Structure 1
Amino acid sequence: MSHRRLPSLSALRAFEAAARHESAKQAAQELSVTATAISHQVRGLEEALGITLFLRKPRQLELTPQGRELQQVLETAFDSISQAVERMSAAPTRQSVTLSTTPAIAARWLLPWVCMLRDSHPGIDLRIHATHEPVALDGVTADLAIRYGDGHWPGLVAEKLLDNTFIPTCSPRLGLHDIAQLPLHPLIHFRPQGAVSAPLNWSIWQKHAQVPGLDVNAGLVFSDETHAISAAIGEQGVALMSRQLIEDELMEGRLVQPFGPELTGKSFFLVYPESRQHDPSIIAIRDWVRVVPGGLCTLSR
C-alpha cells in the first residue's frame, strides 16, 4: 500500500467545521477552541495545499470552488468515521464458542438450559455442533467437545462428566417383566454413523445375558439416540440405552427397566485444548456444563 499524503488532521477538522458553519467563531465553539486557533489551522492548511479555501468577508467565510470540493469530501469521510465509532461503541464485545457433542446430549441436556449460560455470560454466543464424529478442536470447527471414550486424548484436557450404564428399557405398556419373553419383542438398535467408538449394543449384552432364542441382529435400527428412545416410548420394542440419558423417562414412568443385566460403558468427558485451559470463554462453558440441571449437574467432576 502506498503512503497516504495527508495534511494535518487537526487542520482538516478545523476547516470542515468552519466550512459547514461558514464561520470561524461557530467552528471554534463546536471544537472548544478559539476562533484565532481555527483561523490559524485553516491558513496553515491553505499553505500546505497551495490553494485558497475561503474568500474572507467581514462577517462570513465563503468557500472557493476548491474549498467546496474539499469540504464535501471531508464531510462524507468524517460522517463515515463518526458512524463507525458509534456502531463500535454501542455494540458489546461478543465471543462465539462452539461446543461439539452428540445429538442426544445436545437435545436432551444442553439445549433446555442454554438460558442459564445466556444469563450468566450474555457476551458469549454458544454454537452447538451436534455429531457423533470427533471433530478438530481448532477454534474453527469447534472449541471444546463432550466425547465418549476412555478420557485419553493427546493435547486435550479431559474432565469426566458422567458414567454410562446401559440397561434394557421399554414402555411399561408392553407388560414385559420376564427376560425369557424378550425374544417375543422387537429389539431397538442405536448405531451412530461416523462414530469412532459405538456404545454398547445388543450383541454385547447377549453375551452377558445368554437369553435363549434372541436374534440380536433383528429389529429396528436408528442412527439417532433420540429416535431410538421415542420408539421405545411408543411401544415399538425394547431398547438398550444409557440410563443417564433416559433418567427423566424412567422417573416419569414412560420407560421402565424390566430386567438386567446392566452393562458399564465408556464415560463422557468434556474436552478442550490444553493451550486454552485458561481461556475465559472455555472456562465459562466448562462451568455451565458442570451445573446444567437435569443430568450434568449430578455428574462426577
Structure 2
Amino acid sequence: MSDRLPPLTALRAFDAAARHMSFAKAAEELHVTPAALSFQIKSLEEHLGQPLFRRLNRAVELTEAGRILAPGAAEGFTTLQTAWAATRRFQRIGTLTLTAGPALTAKWLAPRLFEFARLHPDIELRLSASLKVIDLRRDDVDAAIRFGISDDADLASYAARPDWVTPIMTPELHERFQTPESLRDAPLIFDDSLFKVAPGCDWPSWFRAVGMSYSPATGTHFSQPDHAIDAACAGLGVALGRRPLIIKDVSEGRLVAPFKVAVQTEARFRFICLPEAKDRPQIAAFREWFFAEIEKTAHMWDDFEIIPEKELGRP
C-alpha cells in the first residue's frame, strides 16, 4: 500500500458518501452519476487495499477503516473550503459583505447607507439582515454587527457606545401620559427580545430608576424590537426603546422620549471581523463610517440621566 495520497476526487466522493450513507445522495450532491461515484470509491479502496463500505441490499455502512477515515476526510474538506472562501474574499477588494440584525438594519443602517455609498462609491456593499450565528472563517461574510455581551474570542471586535432604554410614545399619547406615574394607566408595549440580550433593561427596572416600585403585568408583547417600535409609532402604546433603534423616529417627530431617564445595559453593538482582515480597505472604511455615524447623534441625549441597570438591583 502506497503512502501517497489518493486522488482528491476519490476522497471527495468518499466524504460525501460517508456523510449521506448513500451513494445515490452523494452522487446527487456532487453532480455525478451513481456509477461514477461508485467507481471513485472503488478506486479509493483499491488504493488503500481494503474496503471502506459494506454494500448492503439497499444501503451502505462504513467498515472500521471507513470509520477511521471519515472524520479526517470531513475535517480536511472543511479546512479546504474555509481556506478557499477566505482567499476569494481577499480578492474582492471592492466588495464588502456585512451582516447585521434586522432591527438595526431597518431602523438605523438602511436610512444612512446612502451616505456611505456617497463617500465610498467604489465599494459594493452586500448587506444581510440576519441574526444567524456566523463563522467568519467559514461563511461568505466579511464583517458583522452584533448586539449583546461580548463573546468575540479570536476576533477583532470594536464596541460601540453603551446602549440603554427609555419610554417612547407618540406625541398624541404623551398628551395623556405626561409623568412616569401616569404610565401605570398607560397601554404598555413589551420587547421580549430584551430578556435575551439585556435582561436588566425592562419595565420594572425603568420604574425603579424613577423611584417607583411597579411591575406591569399586562401589555402587548413583540419578539422583535423594531416591531415594538413600529407599534409605538402607530399609537398602540408606550414602549421601551433602545437608543439607536429609536433615533430616527424621535428626530423626525413620530415618537417622543419625554422622561429623560434611561436604563443602561451592559450589552452593546460590536463591529466584528477577522483579525487578519481588519485593515482591508473596505472593512476599515465601513468600520470608521459606522462609528462616526454613531457620534453624529450622540449629543441628542446629553440631557438624559443614564442609570446602569446593575445599580438598580432587583425588587
Q: Report TM bin, short chain.
A: 0.5 to 0.7
Task: Summarize the alignment of residues 1-301 of structure 1 with structure 2, pairs less than 5 Å apart.
Answer: 95-138=94-137, 140-151=139-150, 153-174=152-173, 175=175, 176-192=177-193, 200-209=201-210, 211=212, 214-259=214-259, 261-265=261-265, 266-292=267-293, 295=294, 297-298=296-297
- Going from structure 1 to structure 2, the CA distance change for 1:143 and 1:199 (only over 3 Å counts) comes to farther
Take 1:139 and 1:120, find their aligned partners in 2: how far apart are those partners? 30
Take 1:120 and 1:165, find their aligned partners in 2: how far apart are those partners? 30
Take 2:253 and 2:95, find their aligned partners in 1: how far apart are those partners? 39
Shift of 1:215: 4.6
Take 2:200 and 2:139, find their aligned partners in 1: how far apart are those partners? 28
Q: Hey, what does 1:24 align to over in structure 2?
A: none
Q: Hey, what does 1:89 align to over in structure 2?
A: none
2:107–2:248 Cα contact (<8 Å) kept? no
1:113 alignment partner, SS class: helix
Take 1:119 and 1:181, find their aligned partners in 2: how far apart are those partners? 45
| 1:149 counterpart letter in structure 2 | G
Take 2:263 and 2:215, find their aligned partners in 1: how far apart are those partners? 19
- Going from structure 1 to structure 2, the CA distance change for 1:199 and 1:132 (only over 3 Å counts) comes to farther
Deviation track 1:41-66 (CA, whole Å, cap 9, x = no partner) reads: xxxxxxxxxxxxxxxxxxxxxxxxxx
Shift of 1:196: 5.5
The count of corresponding residues between Structure 1 and Structure 2 is 207
1:148 alignment partner, SS class: strand
- Going from structure 1 to structure 2, the CA distance change for 1:99 and 1:217 (only over 3 Å counts) comes to farther
Shift of 1:272: 1.0
2:194–2:202 Cα contact (<8 Å) kept? no
2:160 alignment partner, SS class: strand
Deviation track 1:235-293 (CA, whole Å, cap 9, x = no partner) reads: 2111111233322332333222233642112222211111212223322322332344x
Take 1:296 and 1:128, find their aligned partners in 2: how far apart are those partners? 22
1:127 alignment partner, SS class: strand
- Going from structure 1 to structure 2, the CA distance change for 1:246 and 1:257 (only over 3 Å counts) comes to same
- Going from structure 1 to structure 2, the CA distance change for 1:179 and 1:144 (only over 3 Å counts) comes to same
| 1:169 counterpart letter in structure 2 | I
Shift of 1:207: 4.4
2:93–2:281 Cα contact (<8 Å) kept? no
1:132–1:195 Cα contact (<8 Å) kept? no
Take 2:252 and 2:116, find their aligned partners in 1: how far apart are those partners? 27
Take 1:255 and 1:195, find their aligned partners in 2: how far apart are those partners? 25
1:170–1:256 Cα contact (<8 Å) kept? yes
- Going from structure 1 to structure 2, the CA distance change for 1:298 and 1:139 (only over 3 Å counts) comes to farther
- Going from structure 1 to structure 2, the CA distance change for 1:299 and 1:181 (only over 3 Å counts) comes to closer
Higher mean C-alpha displacement, 114-123 vs 142-151: 114-123
Mark the structure with the bigger radius of gyration.
1
Shift of 1:202: 1.9
1:134–1:195 Cα contact (<8 Å) kept? no
Unaligned ranges ≥5, structure 2:
1-6, 8-91, 300-315
1:165–1:243 Cα contact (<8 Å) kept? yes
Take 1:129 and 1:195, find their aligned partners in 2: how far apart are those partners? 22
Take 1:160 and 1:193, find their aligned partners in 2: how far apart are those partners? 19
- Going from structure 1 to structure 2, the CA distance change for 1:136 and 1:199 (only over 3 Å counts) comes to farther
Take 2:167 and 2:147, find their aligned partners in 1: how far apart are those partners? 20
Take 1:143 and 1:197, find their aligned partners in 2: how far apart are those partners? 26
Take 1:247 and 1:113, find their aligned partners in 2: how far apart are those partners? 12
1:129–1:142 Cα contact (<8 Å) kept? no
Shift of 1:164: 1.3
Deviation track 1:210-253 (CA, whole Å, cap 9, x = no partner) reads: 645x4534211122222211211222111111233322332333
| 1:233 counterpart letter in structure 2 | C
RMSD of equivalent CA atoms:
3.2
Take 2:195 and 2:181, find their aligned partners in 1: how far apart are those partners? 34
- Going from structure 1 to structure 2, the CA distance change for 1:178 and 1:113 (only over 3 Å counts) comes to closer
